[in-house]
Amino acid sequence: AAAAKPLPAYVGWKNASDVIVHSSTTLETKRSAFGTSGITPSNQLYLRNNLPAPDATIVADRDAWEVTVAGVKSPRKLTVRELKTLGLETVTMVLQCSGNGRGFFPSKPSGTPWTVGAAGCVVWSGVPVRAVVESLGGVSAGMRFMTGTGGEKLPEGIDPKSIMVERSVPAAAMQDALLAWEMNGEPIPLAHGGPLRLIVPGYQGVNNIKYIKQLAFTAQESDAKIMSHGYRMSPPGGKGDPSQPSVQEMSVKSWINSPLPESGTLAAGGTVQIQGVAFGGLHAVKGVEVSIDGGKTWQKARFIGPDMGKYAWRQFVLQARLPAGTYTLASRATDTAGNVQPETRGENQSGYNNTSWADHAVKVTVA
Ligand code: MSS
């Protein structure tokens, strides 16, 4: 096997044994590393940067970072120091790359071949966007989107629209959104968007803009390429375009984290704790079923650990006694709106939003 790539310097503090280094801007949490405590520790959380992360000088004086708020009655620049006076809220949220599960597409779409590890459950603290908007007189008339712009310095000589990270979500998403400065009990590390990050609970990872330098309420979606052509659910073989659905809310999903094929042969006659994670998008996860026969029959799993709110994931377990044999273990989640995790993936060119329970099933051997 090829030697594991070393951790890039700006994430040198990550736990190397818990992550797969795909590239200098993409790290994946190992499926065996998620544990059962609910929260994903920052040092094993996945990383996805579309552009190189900014220089660490931007976190030298975090409170001095400025964000422009536009599309409100009194638009202006605010520092993190000022934001901290306007409100405080904490939300636990699944952060998941829209391409998580791409690695299961037989078509091998271009992009990082994530299996399950481009996701984590993270606690974020910051000011509610709602409170910021209120302090600035409210959203201007006719604004239908909330558009966040990343603070990366863009290389010269390239059309900024072609590379900037700028995403629009429906303006209604501001109800639960935060401008966050803290994650898992510490200032947001540079790699994860510090000093200030837009958090849009229930939405796919790409919409959670790091190093946010502008938050604008806009009449139209951003015309940056990452919005207009990137992250679109394009038909297989097709190219992204603005007429196709954009990668926005997440869909109900679950997967098993133990046992895994790499757990080796399990002892016959003993009990096995089949455990994993389950979450919804805008609707909380309501229940999970587990199958030990590849989806022919299902049994209700039990949630364990605290309920950290509708945007967090739940850990689940099913205790089973497995006679010698080979088993295909699968999990299938349902959300409070009645959406059920589907058997098959929705085919699309870039391998987005794979929630197929069949793709996430694992084969284990008991002897
Ligand atoms: N932001 C910015 N500014 N930049 C970049 O690059 N990316 C995205 C988000 N945000 C970016 C941003 C993506 S794409 C994702 S996933 C996320 O982020 C991730 O996160 P972390 O923290 O994990 O790294 Mo896919 O859908």
204 Cβ below 6 A of ligand 1:
yes
Say how many C-beta atoms besides its own lie within 10 A of residue 134's C-beta: 14
Question: In the prediction, which pLDDT does 334 show?
Answer: 98
Question: In the prediction, which pLDDT does 177 show?
Answer: 98
Alpha carbon of 92 to those of 218, 259, 266: distances in Å? 27, 26, 34
Q: Give pTM, 2 decimals.
A: 0.98
User: In the chain, which stretches have pLDDT less than 50?
Assistant: none
* Helix, coil or strand: residue 143: coil
Which of 21, 210, 225, 350 maximizes ligand 1 atoms within 8 Å of its Cβ, making it the mutation to test the pocket?
210
Of residues 226, 235, 5, the one with CA closest to residue 107: 235
- For ligand 1, the distance from its centroid to the CA atom of residue 191, given in whole angstroms, is 9
Which of 114, 206, 207 maximizes ligand 1 atoms within 8 Å of its Cβ, making it the mutation to test the pocket?
206
- For ligand 1, the distance from its centroid to the CA atom of residue 50, given in whole angstroms, is 7
Ligand 1, closest atom to CA 25? 24
Kindly report the protein residue whose alpha carbon is nearest to atom 9 of ligand 1.
Answer: 206
Q: Are strands 66-70 and 212-218 parallel, antiparallel or unpaired?
A: parallel
- For ligand 1, the distance from its centroid to the CA atom of residue 87, given in whole angstroms, is 25
Q: How far apart are the C-alpha atoms of 123 and 42, rounded to whole Å?
A: 10
Who's near 113: CB < 8 A, 6+ residues apart? 22, 102, 103
47 Cβ below 6 A of ligand 1:
yes
Name the token pair of 351: 């391998």
- For ligand 1, the distance from its centroid to the CA atom of residue 53, given in whole angstroms, is 10
Question: In the prediction, which pLDDT does 184 show?
Answer: 98
Q: Tell me which DSSP letter residue 312 carries.
A: S
Which of 25, 123, 165 maximizes ligand 1 atoms within 8 Å of its Cβ, making it the mutation to test the pocket?
165
Question: In the prediction, which pLDDT does 2 show?
Answer: 66
Per-residue pLDDT reduced to its tens digit, 95-147: 999 999 999 999 999 999 999 999 999 999 999 999 999 999 999 999 999 99
183 Cβ below 6 A of ligand 1:
no
Q: Are strands 26-29 and 19-23 parallel, antiparallel or unpaired?
A: antiparallel
150 Cβ below 6 A of ligand 1:
yes
- For ligand 1, the distance from its centroid to the CA atom of residue 187, given in whole angstroms, is 17
Per-residue pLDDT reduced to its tens digit, 302-338: 999 999 999 999 999 999 999 999 999 999 999 999 9
- For ligand 1, the distance from its centroid to the CA atom of residue 136, given in whole angstroms, is 27
148 Cβ below 6 A of ligand 1:
no
Name the token pair of 272: 């096995």
